[in-house]
Structure 1
Amino acid sequence: MQRRAAAIYFVFFLVIGAGAFGYMSVADAQRPTVSLEDPAYTVSQGESFTVDGREYTLAEITAESTEEGEIERGGTLEWTNESGANATTEEVNIASGANTTLNGQTYLAYMPDNSTVQLTANYQNYAADLDRQAYFAERMNGFWGVTIVGLFAAIILLAAAYLPVKD
């Protein structure tokens, strides 16, 4: 009787763990992304745009992988300083998710891929998207916990049920 009950609980914990894993597989396709609604500027590499009379050109975009497996993107905007006798090219470094000041105006720079920069003054939308991503990651970590604990409990329960009996 004890082994039959253990087998039933084994199946129960196995179903719980497999169900959590199955849900994670389906939910991963619905992972939230950052999408800026109506950015002030959307520029590809080599294109120019004007902020209050000053023309900026997106010179380059760089992408590096971190140890955590995330991609950090950055880039360089160039503009020509024509004051004085010589015209000099000035650079503004930008990073995805960081503030950038262009001609006295502050924008949030976001790089959805390795060739595009979006600039926006709507920080709330970007922050809300990051909050949704953090909430999703927290929930997925919880499902991983349920999967691991459920499968571990099933294995321990089954192993304990089939220990030899000492009389």
Structure 2
Amino acid sequence: MQRRAAGVYIAIFLVISAGAYSLVGMAKEPTVSVNNPDQTLSQQGQKFTVDGRQYNVSSLSGGSAEVAWTQQAATYSAELANNSTVEQDNTTFQVLIPNKSEPKKATLREVQNLSEGTQTVKQGNETYVVVNGSSGNKSLVPVDEYKRQQFGEPTTKTLRTGDSFQYSNNSTTVDNITAEAVMLQWKAPKTTVSSVESGSTVELGPNNKTFVAHGQGNKVLLSSDVKAYNEQEEAVSHFHERIAGLWGVSILSFIAAALIGMLAYLPFKG
């Protein structure tokens, strides 16, 4: 009687296992698709427009892309800190700003470097150059005086707010002068690159419009219907969860049937 009941349970669990397994085989996985995409990126160098802003497809490969747009007159800025140096016309200048709360100007003073091998000594707060006289005697000459003798008076330039200034090959304007720095500003093109990955979102256009990207072969489709795309991805995720559950039922049911069979048909002692 015990073995007969065990046989019934084994049959039930095997039926459950087989049924779950057959459902796994029959189930059709849903796919994610984009109907009527806002943009289809199909080749490198392709141009497209979002709310009046033109983009260029700078790279396209494996369901992902990079798109770039160029702002022709972007604003750049830089600071020349007090006592820092700056190159201009192949000459190094030191930035000197008066120690005032609201300075009206700054001065660029040519940096005159001593030649290699020049011997100097420091006495107190003063630095001297050791000069060898014609008779073999040595004398000490203050370093600033020595530089004037060797190079002449250093070139100086005055900067005021609104002045033009050549900086890093850019024609800049002195925007402001503070006790800490000279503020420069200029206009120049600026290129911004955005990465577009399949399944992720990207903001494009002057209004930061959100698009979801979908890789399709060698193309990338952009859709502004992010909600519909996410719903499809959730359906795919839910499908995989159900399939995993069916596999679990099938495997556990088979194991349960095997265990019942082994326990039911163990030999009796005595």
TM-score by length of 1: 0.79
* Letter paired with 1:146: V
Q: Distance in 1 between matches of 2:223 and 2:2?
A: 65
Match runs of 1:122-137 below 5 Å? 122-137=225-240
Q: How does 1:39-118 map to 2 (within 5 A)?
A: 39-46=37-44, 47-61=46-60, 63=62, 74-83=64-73, 89-104=191-206, 105-118=208-221
Structure 1 residues 134-143 or 46-55, which shifts more?
A: 46-55
Is 1:16 the equivalent of 2:16?
yes
1:57–1:114 CA distance, 2 compared to 1 (3 A): farther
Summarize deviations over 1:50-106 as a string: whole Å, max 9, x none: 12333223232455xxxxxxxxx6431123333378655431122233331222232
More strand by share: 2
Whichever residue aligns with residue 256 of structure 2, its letter is: A
2:168 aligned residue: none
Q: Which has the higher mean CA deviation after the structures are superposed, 47-56 or 141-150?
A: 47-56
Q: What is the alpha-carbon distance in structure 2 between the residues aligned to residue 59 and residue 148 of structure 1?
A: 50
Unaligned 5+ residue runs, structure 1? Answer: 64-72
Larger Rg: 2
- Rounded to whole Å, the distance in 1 between the matches of 2:223 and 2:36 is 8
Q: Secondary structure at the match of 1:31?
A: coil
Letter in 1 for 2:22: G
Normalised TM-score (structure 2)? 0.51
Q: Which amino acid aligns with 2:56?
A: T
- Conserved 8 A contact 2:201-2:210: yes
Show structure 2 runs of 5+ residues with no match: 75-186
Report if the CA contact (8 A) 2:56-2:68 is conserved.
yes
**Structure-1 separation of matches of 2:57 and 2:7:** 64
Please report how far the alpha carbon of residue 109 of structure 1 lies from its aligned counterpart in structure 2 after TM superposition.
2.7
CA contact 1:13–1:153 (8 Å) conserved in 2 = yes
Number of aligned residues: 156
Residues 12-41 of structure 1 deviation map (CA, whole Å, 9 limit, x = unaligned): 2112101101110110xx211112232211
Distance in 1 of aligned mates of 2:189 and 2:235 = 46
Cα contact 1:80–1:89 (8 A) shared by 2: yes
Deviations 1:106-148 (A, max 9, x none): 2223223352222222122012112211221221122112112
Partner SS, residue 83 of structure 1: strand
Report the counterpart of residue 157 of structure 1 in structure 2: 260
Name the structure 1 match of 2:133. none
